Amino acid sequence: DYDVPPDVQDSIQDISWSPTANVFVAGSWDNNVRCWEVQHQGTQFQAVARAQFSHKAPVLCTAFSADGTTVFSGSCDKTAMMWQLGGNGQGQQIAQHDQPIRSIHHIAQANCVVTGSWDKTVKYWDTRSPTPQATVQLSDRCYALDVTYPLMVVATADKQIHCFDLKMPSKIYTTLKSSLKYQTRCIAAFPDASGFAIGSIEGRVSIQHVDDKIRDRDFVFKAHRDNTNNAVYPVSSISFHQTSGRLATTGADGSYTFWDKDARKLLTNFAKLPNYQGITVGKFNKMGDIFAYATSYDWHKGVEGYNPQGRNVVRLHHVDANDMTVKAKK
């Protein structure tokens, strides 16, 4: 796998790919959003830093507009900003919450940006207006949010999943309880918008459906565990591959794994790397032939778990057909 230069000064929290090109951004705890352009042929990569934007506090979330020209970012400074790629680097504030903004998405079909915050609200914004189009109260703090139109799923601190039909965005369509006993760390909506996958701090992933008629397809599987010493690690992110039921999980153990939810099979388990600490986030690009992931410490073990030699770096993996096929048992 290829290391994207340069390394980042502090933990990387989020990665987003442009929907129109091999361009991605990463938001990090050093208050910055960085943008890179990627050239690649098979396993040969070259990434060039193109832009950098700054918040007043750590950046927790990033997103692209549907046309790939604009980047959105949410921060612990309680604001969301909008940046034009190829612009002058001056951002425009588009959102304000009472607490840090944990999640952000651009909803092209509604021409708005949605933000989820630790202030227990989801807000929808027209980027030209300083006041939200709508505010929805949640049961608790927003820990993760994802959109596959018309489905939006919001995971809250009380282990609830609030499902929205974005054709009627100002009210919660239904609320489901997480099938996992422990705190939710990440969520990803299925590409067909029929359900979602959530990951917990206790090394488990739950596959759940919104429609109660197909809830018999729900199941849970274990991930990011070290059976040699009975260690269990948080599942830090989940990313679906284009239009299929295949997904990638990343973990605080420093590994990433590809799965097939429909076949209920593990596809490929990638070895973890020394001195790269955990993986905080991983995302497939639009074409599905590159998987970008960030190696950083997520501080889940406090200062005692900090390794000063550990690097904060985005790495790129070429996704080939073998990565995405169920392996025959030897």
Where residue 230 falls (left for φ over 0; alpha for ψ -120 to 50; beta otherwise) is: left
Residue 150, preceding peptide bond in cis (omega within 30° of 0): yes
Domain spans, the chain: 2-324
Q: 146 is written with which tokens?
A: 């994802």
Terminal Cα-to-Cα distance of the chain (whole angstroms): 26
Cα radius of gyration (the chain)? 18
Query: What is the torsional sign of CA 244, 257, 153, 221?
Result: positive
Give the pLDDT confidence score for residue 243 in this predicted structure. Answer: 67
Q: Please give the full DSSP string across 117-156, using - where no structure is assigned.
A: ETTSEEEEE-TT-SS-SEEEE-SS-EEEEEEETTEEEEEE
Indicate the CATH number for domain 2-324.
2.130.10.10
As a whole number of angstroms, the distance between CA 255 and CA 295 comes to: 9
pLDDT of residue 305: 77
Helix (H) or strand (E) holding 39, with range, is strand 32-41
User: Do 255 and 271 contact (CB within 8 A), yes or no?
Assistant: yes
10-residue averages of pLDDT along the chain (330 residues): 91 97 97 97 94 96 97 98 88 97 98 98 96 98 98 98 98 97 98 97 97 94 90 96 90 95 94 80 96 89 78 94 81
CB 280 within 8 A of CB 12: yes
Contact assessment for residue 48 and residue 316, using Cβ atoms and an 8 Å cutoff: no
Q: How far is CA 295 from CA 40, 77, 329, in A?
A: 21, 24, 31
Nearest to 193 by CA among 269, 229, 245, 256: 245
What does the pLDDT read at residue 273?
74
